[in-house]
Chains A and B, each alone.
Chain A
Amino acid sequence: MFLQQLSLFLENKAGRLTEVTQTLSKHGINITAFSIADSEDFGILRMIVDQHNTALKALKEEHFVVHSTNVVGFIIPNQPGKLYDALQHLDKTTIDIEYLYAFAHNGDAAVIVKTNNDELTANILKENGYSLIEKHPFDPDEMPTE
């Protein structure tokens, strides 16, 4: 039901992001999407990569504070108003969005969302005809979930 995302705690320190990308590069890992949330002193880097488990292990070995987080990924047409349509379904419920980002996906748009109730979010989207991204399309690590 969920897509796996890498979440990293990063201090606001020169070169820290470079070190993350260097580690991923060394292991031939492709970043499909990422977003950075930052406060004054630290940031959280969230990434969808093609080899989730390999990336997780490699980053841990380099002593990064990294966790695997379940997020909901779903596809919308790459057209004006389509994100609005999708979010309207969530607004009718008690769901609060923690964060959201998006990337281009085969001519469509893929949306990654984290809410206070991910299971409910996924179910609502599914019921309303959205297709969920449950594994990375190119991840050799991941076996099909269903």
Chain B
Amino acid sequence: MSAVSLAMSQSLVDVGAIDDVPQRGARCVKKGDRTIAIFRTQDDQFFALEDKCPHKNGPLSQGIVHDGCVTCPLHNWVISLSSGQAQGADEGETRTFTVEVRDGRLLLDLEEMA
């Protein structure tokens, strides 16, 4: 739970190594009251979403990750990791963030998170 140094070029901040996030899993980054979930898919794509389901704020980071989606642990809505959109008949959207991968590190854009 170490606070990381924010002294990076532009507004990108290094939040950890890619291997800290399990495949078909997620880890969270906390900033004040906000929690951002960083997801890693089976084929090593990374996505960052606000850790709140558009349905009833379920913690998406705790869901099952499959293909490009996560199934919410509370009532099984399926949310697209790339768009944040609820799939199928459900309607709603979760905010997405940019996550960059550089030299095996994960970078989030602070300005976006402000």
Q: Do A and B bind each other?
A: no
Interface residues of B (CB under 8 A from A): none
> Which A residues are closer than 8 A to B by beta carbons?
none
